A and B are shown apart, each in its own frame.
Chain A
Amino acid sequence: MHIYLPIAEMSANVWIFLGMGWAVGFLSGLFGVGGGFLMTPLLIFSGIPPAVAVGTGGAQVVASSVAGALAQYRRNNVDVKMGVVLLSGGLFGGIIGVQIVRILRAAGQFDLFVALSYVLFLGVIGGLMLIESANAMRQARAGKALSMRQSGQHGWVHHLPLKMRFHRSKLYISAIPPLMIGAFVGFMAAIMGVGGGFILVPAMIYLLRMPTSVVVGTSLFQIVFVTATTTVMHATSNHSVDIVLAVLLISSGVIGAQAGAIAGAKLRGEQLRFLLAALVLLVCIRIGWDLVVTPTELFSLDRLGLH
């Protein structure tokens, strides 16, 4: 069964995109991530024009994250104040990101920059997470409990001015690090077409030293707002949001996300992190492969007028 996508201007097999939405939804429910880092490359691999993939992938991330964010909020696991600080940084980073996209696109280096960003971030974060979760699993087997948060450690982060009290996170730190992290995540979100959860979660745990209990909720809170904003921005400035494609991905994605959340409850935290790390590294290798291996077609075409 095929349906014509009005913005992508191509005919798409309904079942392929329903399946894709379900699979990404399942993984995002399982790991508590938005899934943008999977959805955008998958859409591009399946022939959707990259601009439309970036613009539409965000809508699916909104759908699969909103339920999770609300559930976390009800359980009081969202540090709204921290979220707002991160978001205001994110807005700034997003505006810069959109400008950088324009410059890189004109220079013909946008694809390279995106691929390198994916390889770098997915590689580093996936690698660190893999090592950390493998250690945690080994220690869990040995019967030792590992605390993620080593309290009492005060790095350079704590000597900056503009201190703010984040009650929910039990932190009294400068607003500069969260603002910078937020700006960086917003910048990457604009460029890579992702919510930025996979950068935000480790940054909150390891740099801001927020308690793990509020990390997932605050990250989801931030993802919902960032992706909702970028979706509207892409729709207004680039006309690159395909609502038909979005409906296909969302309708199966939200069901997949619920199924993933149920499956996730049966796994231990470190096992989940290990699996997510392996998945992140797979995506990283797949994208890196294309950069290194001699392409079958050395030429590519770019239409003028988009962006």
Chain B
Amino acid sequence: MRPSLSRIIATIALLGFCAPHATAELWLTGGTGRQNAANETVPPPARPLPTPHNDGLPPEKVEADVSAHNIEVTAGFTGREIVVFGTVDYSRQPTPESGYYDIVVIVEGPPVAVIARSKSNVGGLWINTGAMLFDAVPSFYAVSTTRPLEEIADAKLLKEHSIGFDYVRMRPRQGRVPTFTPEDLKAYREAVVRIKQRDFLYPRQDFGVGFIGRSLFRTSMKLPANVPISALQANVYLFRDGALLSTVTAPVKLERRGIEAYIHRFATRHSFLYGVLTVMLAIGAGLAASTIFRRS
């Protein structure tokens, strides 16, 4: 009786400890709440169930953070390298190289509405003929993993949690655009990912995450110069044998600072004055140059 009672107490204590984190995650992930529920769901039958531990330790849990929570965008901003690091609590892995756990790190920007258009040849000219409107596409989506995602978990689980470029959340607007086939949707989705990858906004590192110790892992990720200046979040997923064990989220915020912040504020709040100032500057420069050149 005694050991089972202590286990119940430990579980209650653990739940109490986890609760604030769970709400924080809910808040940061926009209230999907599926990451937490996933810990209890049965892994898909396509893969064998991960062997349960009989060592009396609590189940594994991932904790993570980012090297910089506030990134300042100043006049010299050319992008920024961030490090996402974390630990696996109650790690059972014998060595860092064992490949016992898989880590998926996704740094995601806020969703934006995007129109994807496709061209076709009309009378010799390449003209936009098709379009699909997505209400929400992540403005930035960087994926770093211990090995290629297809090897970490099967499609069903990745799709359920919208992990990876094939399953990233993109909500097409229904009704307004003429009805589309699943093939159309797939082609447009792939085009969005391809174009965002070309613009460095959807980077992918298949072996980007490495374990340093039995439980400590890290990955460095490059935020490009055109990264959206907004609140990003780093989502970290812990996998073992194709099952999602635990997830955690850490915030990263980009902020304009110094002259950048001043100019941007001026341009948005006093746009008329800003426009007039730009024109005055142009007129001043043109007149100054002509006066200087006439004297010399």
Chain A positions near chain B (C-beta within 8 angstroms) = 2-4, 6-7, 9-11, 59-60, 62-67, 70-71, 108-109, 111-112, 228, 231-236, 239, 241, 243-244, 246-247, 250-251, 254-255, 257-258, 262, 290-295, 297-305
Return chain B residues, CB-CB under 8 Å to A109. Answer: 127-128
Q: Which of A231, A291, A292, A299 contacts B117, CB < 8 Å?
A: A299
A112 x B285 contact (CB < 8 A): no
Given contacts A109-B127, A112-B127, A258-B289, 13 further A-B contacts (CB under 8 A): A4-B260, A59-B279, A60-B282, A63-B285, A232-B275, A241-B278, A244-B263, A254-B288, A258-B290, A295-B119, A298-B126, A302-B115, A303-B114
Return chain A residues, CB-CB under 8 Å to B119. Answer: 295, 298-300
Q: Which of B124, B192, B228, B290 contacts A301, CB < 8 Å?
A: B192
In the docked arrangement, what's the CA distance between A109 and B272, Å? 29
Instruction: Say how far B15's CB is from chain A's closest CB, in angstroms.
Output: 43
A258 x B277 contact (CB < 8 A): no
Q: Which residue of B lies closest to A295 (CB)?
A: B126
In the docked arrangement, what's the CA distance between A59 and B280, Å? 9
B282 x A63 contact (CB < 8 A): yes
In the docked arrangement, what's the CA distance between A10 and B260, Å? 12
B274 x A243 contact (CB < 8 A): yes
In the docked arrangement, what's the CA distance between A228 and B78, Å? 31
A236 x B271 contact (CB < 8 A): yes
Q: Which of B131, B278, B282, B290 contacts A70, CB < 8 Å?
A: B290
Q: Which residue of A lies closest to B113 (CB)?
A: A304
Return chain B residues, CB-CB under 8 Å to A295. Answer: 119, 126
A9 x B229 contact (CB < 8 A): yes
Interface size on B, residues (CB 8 A): 59
In the docked arrangement, what's the CA distance between A129 and B225, Å? 43
Return chain B residues, CB-CB under 8 Å to A258. Answer: 289-290, 293
Known contacts A10-B225, A246-B281, A301-B192; decide if A64 and B78 are in contact (CB<8 Å).
no
Indicate if B185 sits at the interface (CB-CB under 8 A): no
Return chain A residues, CB-CB under 8 Å to B288. Answer: 254
Known contacts A10-B225, A228-B279, A239-B268; decide if A299 and B263 are in contact (CB<8 Å).
no
In the docked arrangement, what's the CA distance between A7 and B264, Å? 7
* Total A-B residue contacts, Cβ distance less than 8 Å: 182
In the docked arrangement, what's the CA distance between A291 and B115, Å? 21
Known contacts A70-B290, A234-B275, A258-B293; decide if A299 and B188 are in contact (CB<8 Å).
yes
Q: Which residue of A lies closest to B119 (CB)?
A: A298
In the docked arrangement, what's the CA distance between A70 and B283, Å? 11
Instruction: Say how far B162's CB is from chain A's closest CB, in angstroms.
Output: 20
Indicate if B77 sits at the interface (CB-CB under 8 A): yes
A236 x B272 contact (CB < 8 A): yes
Interface residues as binary, B71-88 with A (CB distance below 8 Å gives 1, 0 otherwise): 001111111000000000
A66 x B283 contact (CB < 8 A): yes
Q: Which residue of B lies closest to A3 (CB)?
A: B75
Q: Which of A7, A62, A233, A292 contacts B124, CB < 8 Å?
A: A292
Return chain B residues, CB-CB under 8 Å to A251. Answer: 285
Return chain A residues, CB-CB under 8 Å to B283. Answer: 62-63, 66, 228
In the docked arrangement, what's the CA distance between A301 and B199, Å? 11
Q: Which residue of A lies closest to B79 (CB)?
A: A11
Q: Which of A2, A246, A297 contacts B278, CB < 8 Å?
A: A246
Indicate if B287 sits at the interface (CB-CB under 8 A): yes
Q: List 16 A-B contacts (CB under 8 A).
A: A2-B78, A3-B76, A9-B226, A108-B117, A228-B282, A234-B275, A235-B278, A244-B263, A247-B281, A250-B282, A251-B285, A294-B121, A297-B191, A299-B191, A299-B194, A301-B192
